[in-house]
Amino acid sequence: MSVRLKIVLGIVFGILLIDQCLKIYIKTHFILGEEHVIFPWFRIHFTENPGMAFGMEFGGFWGKLALSLFRIGAAGFGIYYLRKIILQKMHLGYIAAISFVFAGAVGNILDSLFYGLMFNESFMEPAHFFPVEGGYAGFLHGKVVDMLYFPLVEGYFPKWVPIWGGEEFAFFRPVFNLADASISLGVILILLFQKKFFGEEKTMDISSTHQNSDAA
């Protein structure tokens, strides 16, 4: 097994294991909307997202179905692309970044595919794992469990600010999960180190071209 494949498997299965364990624990121990303050800027706040990442919604029955099918298609493309860049022996950092994105996407896909079948609703009491009465939704219509909340800065807009003057604000407001964080990490790594990830390959190509020209 190549080093690149080991990196992919390690990241993907590591992220999926931690992500799913955390989600299942939150789902079976927290009531919807329950919040535990670890630090003022770090809280565990249980919410469920029927749509996209960071609490954004893609509503309705058909919207949810379309989103789930899109996620499955994207995951299939992710497998193809990871295989491609492993065979091409791309930069280890780039492979790791794509692995983080892929792992996060699959983590949320699992919620959408199976959580509606595996759990009942979390109102008034924590959900039960495989309840006798059945789950809260059908296949492909599960809600994504979110719990990480980082209100790093909280306060009120000054009165003179148009529209929002005097209203409360919080940064960072969205509630998300480890899968979302994994996707974001992968994208950030690509943006920050794109020259390093792709520059070496270009340098090698240029060097090879010069060597061939000299030989000729």
Q: Which pLDDT score, from 0 to 100, does residue 158 have?
A: 85
Cα 13–Cα 58–Cα 169 angle in degrees, nearest 5: 90
Q: What residue ranges do the domains of the chain occupy? A: 3-210
pTM of the complete model? 0.82
Q: How many CB atoms lie within 10 A of CB 202?
A: 10
The one catalytic residue in 19, 111, 146, 205 is: 146
The two three-digit tokens of residue 166, written as one number: 């005097």
- Structure confidence by residue, pLDDT tens digits, 83-134: 999 999 999 999 999 999 999 999 999 999 999 999 999 989 999 999 999 9
DSSP three-state, residue 144: strand
**Residue 154 confidence class, pLDDT cut points 50, 70, 90:** confident
Q: What is the mean pLDDT of residues 17-38?
A: 97
Q: Which pLDDT score, from 0 to 100, does residue 9 have?
A: 97
Q: Which pLDDT score, from 0 to 100, does residue 17 have?
A: 98
Q: Which pLDDT score, from 0 to 100, does residue 202 have?
A: 47
Contact 120, 128 (CB under 8 A): yes
Strand (E) or helix (H) holding 68 = helix 61-87
Q: Measure the CA dihedral 145/69/61/57, to 10°.
A: 50
Task: Tell the residue number behind the tokens 């790594």, with chain if given.
Answer: 189
180 is catalytic: yes
The one catalytic residue in 19, 180, 205, 214 is: 180
Q: Which pLDDT score, from 0 to 100, does residue 214 have?
A: 53
Is residue 165's pLDDT more than 80? yes
146 is catalytic: yes
**Inter-CA distances, 67 with 53, 86, 127, Å:** 11, 28, 24
Residues 114 and 10: their CA atoms lie apart, in Å, by 23
**Residue 153 confidence class, pLDDT cut points 50, 70, 90:** confident
Residue 38 amino acid letter = I
* Nearest alpha-carbon partner for 26 in 139, 196, 148, 124: 148
